[in-house]
Amino acid sequence: MKFPPFRPVFITRLIRISPAAPNPVIAEMRIGLRRIGIAWQLWRMQVQQRSARHELIHVVLEKKRVVDNYTALLSSNAARTAALHRQLKTLMEDGQ
């Protein structure tokens, strides 16, 4: 659902200006304008929710990436330490 970038303020102003609608056409127009205004506001809310959701997903992914990097670093450090221990052990055994 795409809407042109008009503002609901403009629509409400139009509704307020139009007379108390003795004419059924004007009444229909006012109802239509009000509906467009409501639809536009709903659409804007959806867009805002969508962007908020995207931002939240982005934050979660960023946190996950940081955690993954940290765990990778820890595991690589552990592997490196184990390798150093093995080397030291073999050196000490060779020295005896």
How far, in Å, CA of 62 to CA of 89, rounded?
Answer: 40
The vertex-29 CA angle with 24 and 1, nearest 5°, equals 145
Q: Mean of the pLDDT values across residues 50-54? A: 80
37 close to 11: Cβ distance less than 8 angstroms: yes
For the stretch 61-88, pLDDT in tens is 888 888 888 888 888 888 888 888 888 8
Q: Is the pLDDT of residue 12 over 70?
A: no
pLDDT given for residue 70 in this prediction: 82
Range of weakest confidence among 14-18, 31-35, 47-51, 69-73: 14-18
DSSP annotation of 22: -
